A and B are shown apart, each in its own frame.
Chain A
Amino acid sequence: MNLSDDDFTLFGLPQRFALDRAALDDCWRALQARVHPDRFASEGAAAQRLAMQWAVRVNEAYQRLKDPLKRGAYLCELRGAPIQAENNTAMPAAFLMQQMAWREALDEADSLASVEALDEQVAAHEQALLAELGRTLDGTADASAAAQQVRALMFVARFRNDIGRRLEALDA
């Protein structure tokens, strides 16, 4: 076991998109129970430093694996198709139209209920896109097609962030 092992190896999981969330959570807790600095509170500085490195590494992998979008992006990278979102902004026209329609709907929504309804609609769409990404990554193994799907999902995630900010403003 090595600090530089990939996330899946570290958690003893198969390198694929489909994931048993409960097993991931259990494994995370079991690993933290072994490496957390509090487990080495009565040992010296060297053990503390090492525990800190491992605990950070385990948390990093957990954050990446538990988030489907981050997990998808990571798998693309492991399979030689890095996302490079900043250099790949071209998206299909239909997708962009959809985005614009959503943004307009958000601008026009003026109540907590209407923003929440929009969020539910977008969340359902996001779920469908994630399922599609899963089929690409675990089924066809076409990494560059998967990378394009990840980039589309990043737009959706950013939009849901904006919705979240709007919900907060309406609830304040």
Chain B
Amino acid sequence: MALLQLSEPGQTPDPHARRIAVGIDLGTTHSLVAAVRHGVAECLPDGDGRVILPSVVRYLDGGGRQIGFDARQAQADDPENTLASVKRFMGRRLADVTGADKLPYRFVDQPGMVAVETRAGLKTPVEVSAEILATLRYRAEDTFSDDLYGAVITVPAYFDDAQRQATKDAAQLAGLNVLRLINEPTAAAVAYGLDNGSEGLYAVYDLGGGTFDISLLRLSRGVFEVVATGGDAALGGDDFDQALADWALARAGRSASSPHDKRAVLVAARAAKEALTDADQAVLACELAGPPLAVPVSRAEFDALTRPLVERTLSAVRKVLRDAKVKREEVMGVVMVGGSTRMPAIPAAVGELFGRAPLTNLNPDEVVAVGAAIQANALAGNAQDGELLLLDVIPLSLGLETMGGLVERVIERNTTIPVAKAQDFTTFKDGQTAMAIHVLQGERELVADCRSLARFELRGIPPMVAGAARIRVTFQVDADGLLSVAARELGSGVEASVVVKPSYGLADDQIAQMLKDGFASAEVDMAARSLRESRVEAERMTLATRAALAADGELLDAAERDSIEALLVDLNRIAAGDDHAAIDSAVERLADGTEAFAAARMNRGIQAALTGRKLNDL
């Protein structure tokens, strides 16, 4: 006879109870995956021991793909089908992509987002990113020989709503459960701050392959509060390569017009730039149509020709200090993140601005993924202390179009998320029964200078004289930094709302279709996957509810407790079957049935927070 297995309330007899959660840095030039193993966050290597995966995807004849080093190797030989740095195109139209004419791709402008024509058909940046994410997901699953519970994915702090949504879509397409999108500088600060036990105000200077971020964070007992953030979503190491390539071509009196030549000169420029990190001299050399190109370049020349790019980053730093109303002397340390900060001119310029040498003791390539892994581990409920809390901000102001093509700001940039804000508007014509709502993001006053996020219409307003209707528009930004907008006429109660994704990003049914088409999960049986996911969710809810009952059960009277117990028994019975829809609805019933209990517990938590503070004051 088998022994009865006993377990404490809130614990689980399941040996796989520790949930595998990873942090993924989806970078412009390369991507990494990290996880907490044996209490230490570290990047996971591939079969050859390399932690870096070049963010390059090559589409081959016959439906095959190369991802990573092999694809990067083939860039100059097969430039049109080998897509690199697609992060720069995420959530962007062709008109938004600077220097598109210098890239070897066959761009196709599409509503919502630019795409690239390849031999495997039209590919969006979301699909290409999903290939990279899926590769990292398989690497993590192979490492742990287990399914992933979820992932925290990092985005540049300066990414707008469209770019964040596109990133989340890519993750979904790669079959990843996104626990949270977090900002790259915040992730770096987590890795850095937890490592050093730092407190106070820190700046994170993050210059990657294609994006630049500057963030100010206040670290205080495990709370990482972003004070202000800024940057340039289209400025990175790639621009230094391009500047050097243009300079070398001009100096040699040559040009690069074919896709092969364009890519070859960029690859050579990148190699010369990297050589100049340690050497004072390098030669930019490559094969072009006609005689080969070989242009010697000194570090001083390189620094001079890229100085305007460095200046752009410094100007963004000064703006963030002004935004935060912080003096540069108050900053206790400057953390350098991103491979581009290896260029010697960068730490020198940043050090000069802040009057202190930047901190470079963590690997600038790995620090973001490591920080994301620490947060993923905490969100999966694996962290022992639960001390870590990230309080992030929205990077760009959100607003609405008003009369005359002007933008009325509803939420200012650098507001801590989650946040919701309502603003009242009225009709301007007698008998007006509909109102167009145009949602914008940006700092400029004219609609034409801001990014359009969504348009929708509130219809069915009862006819009234102009100015009599009261239309309340509510903006809500969740903890991932994603926006939803609702409008409601207060007199009649007519409503309309939109989760901001139609003008950029993919609709849910498009994603469902792509998943069905076998993308990124060719060998996975979708039905089995849904069932497994539903069971995991049922288990998760059961454990959470049991833990809550154990901690705060006395908040319930006997009848309330019985009804929750009944829901638990019900869910347990249904989860043993294989109808995933039935399991989902039983989970939903338990969620609804515990809502009042959750509210009571929240209240107790708040009381405790206040009491704790008052005790500290004594």
B-binding residues in A (CB < 8 A): 1, 11-12, 23, 26-27, 29-39, 41-47, 49-52, 54-56, 59-60, 62-63, 164, 167-168, 171-172
> Quick check: A54 and B602 within 8 Å, CB to CB?
yes
Interface string of B385-424 (1 = CB under 8 A from A): 0100111000000000000000000000001111111000
Q: What sequence of 0s and 1s flags, for each residue 597-618 of chain B, a beta carbon within 8 Å of any chain A beta carbon?
A: 0110011011111101110110
Contact A42 B606 (CB under 8 A): no
Question: Binary interface profile of B, 374-388, with partner A (CB < 8 Å = 1, else 0)?
Answer: 000011110000100
In the A-B complex, the 9 residue pairs with the closest CB atoms:
A34-B605, A44-B591, A46-B595, A42-B381, A41-B379, A43-B544, A46-B591, A30-B609, A12-B610
Residues of B within 8 A of A52 (CB): 418, 478-479
Give the chain B neighbours of A39 by CB distance below 8 A: 386, 389
- Contact A54–B606 (Cβ < 8 Å): yes
Task: Write out the residue numbers on chain A whose beta carbons fall within 8 Å of the beta carbon of B391.
Answer: 29, 32, 36
B416 touches A62 (CB 8 A): yes
Assess whether B609 is in contact with A27, with CB atoms less than 8 Å apart. Answer: yes
User: Are B590 and A35 touching (Cβ within 8 A)?
Assistant: no
Distance, CA A1 to CA B319, complexed state (A): 39
Is B60 part of the contact surface with A, judged by Cβ < 8 Å? no
> How far apart sit A60 and B420, CA to CA, in the bound complex (Å)?
8
| Chain B 522-555 residues near chain A, CB threshold 8 A | 540-541, 543-545, 548
A-contacting residues of B (Cβ < 8 Å)?
A: 179-180, 220-221, 223, 225, 315, 318-319, 322, 378-381, 386, 389-391, 415-421, 476, 478-479, 540-541, 543-545, 548, 587-588, 590-592, 594-595, 598-599, 602-603, 605-610, 612-614, 616-617
Q: Note all chain A residues with C-beta closer than 8 A to B592.
A: 46
Residues of A within 8 A of B613 (CB): 12, 23, 26-27, 30
CB contacts between A and B, total, < 8 Å: 126
Which listed residue (B322, B386, B591, B617) contacts A23, Cβ 8 A?
Answer: B617
Q: Are the CB atoms of B479 and A55 closer together than 8 Å?
A: yes
B476 x A51 contact (CB < 8 A):
no
A-B contact pairs, 7 of them (CB 8 A): A12-B613, A35-B605, A36-B479, A42-B543, A43-B548, A46-B598, A59-B416
Roughly how many angstroms separate A32 CA and B421 CA in the complex, as a whole number?
A: 18
How far, in angstroms, from A129 to B545 measured CA to CA in the complex?
53
In contact, A168 and B319 (Cβ under 8 angstroms): yes
CA of A32 to CA of B479, assembled, Å: 12
Task: Tell me, rounded to whole Å, the shortest Cβ–Cβ distance linking A32 to chain B.
Answer: 6
Residue of B nearest to A52 (CB): B418
CA distance A49 to B591 in the complex (A): 10
**A38 and chain B: residue at smallest CB distance:** B379
Q: Which listed residue, A41, A50, A60, touches B179 by the CB 8 Å rule?
A: A41
- Nearest chain B residue, comparing its CB with the CB of A11: B610
**Inter-chain contact B418/A38, CB cutoff 8 Å:** no
State in angstroms the CA–CA spacing of A51 and B225 once bound together.
Answer: 18
**Residues of chain B within 8 A of A44, CB atoms compared:** 540-541, 544-545, 587, 590-591, 594
Asked whether A56 and B420 contact (CB < 8 A) given A35-B602, A36-B479, the answer is yes
Within the complex, the shortest CB–CB distance from B93 to chain A, in Å, comes to 24
B381 close to A41 (CB less than 8 A): yes
**Which A residues are CB-close (under 8 A) to B602?**
34-35, 50-51, 54
By a CB distance below 8 angstroms, the chain B residues around A42 are 379-381, 540, 543-544
User: In the complex, A21→B200 CA distance in Å?
Assistant: 16
**Complex Cα gap A101–B358 (Å):** 43
In the complex, what residues of A have CB within 8 A of residue B179's CB?
41
* Nearest A residue to B478, CB-CB: A52
* CB-defined contacts of A1 to chain B, threshold 8 Å: 603, 606-607, 610
**Contact call A164/B322, Cβ cutoff below 8 A:** yes
Q: Are A12 and B614 within 8 A (Cβ)?
A: yes
Interface centre among B322, B417, B418 (most CB of A within 10 A): B418
B residues in contact with A59, CB < 8 Å = 415-419
CB atoms of B605 and A50 under 8 A apart: no
Instruction: For the complex formed, measure the closest distance between the CB of A135 and the CB atoms of chain B, giving whole angstroms.
Output: 24
CB nearest to A164 among chain B residues = B322
Contact B223 A56, beta carbon cutoff 8 Å: no
Max chain B C-beta neighbours (<10 A), residue from A29, A49, A50, A59: A29
> How far is B545's CA from A23's CA once the two chains are assembled, in angstroms?
34
Complex Cα–Cα for A23 and B616 (A): 10
B220 shortest CB reach to chain A, Å = 6
Q: Which residues of A contact B390 (CB under 8 A)?
A: 38
**Most chain B beta carbons < 10 A, residue from A1, A11, A44:** A44
Whether the pair B598, A36 counts as a contact (CB closer than 8 A) is no
Q: Given that A34-B605, A46-B591 are contacting pairs, would A63 and B418 also be in contact in the complex, using a CB cutoff of 8 Å? A: no
**Which residue from A30, A47, A172 sits with its C-beta under 8 Å from B612?**
A30
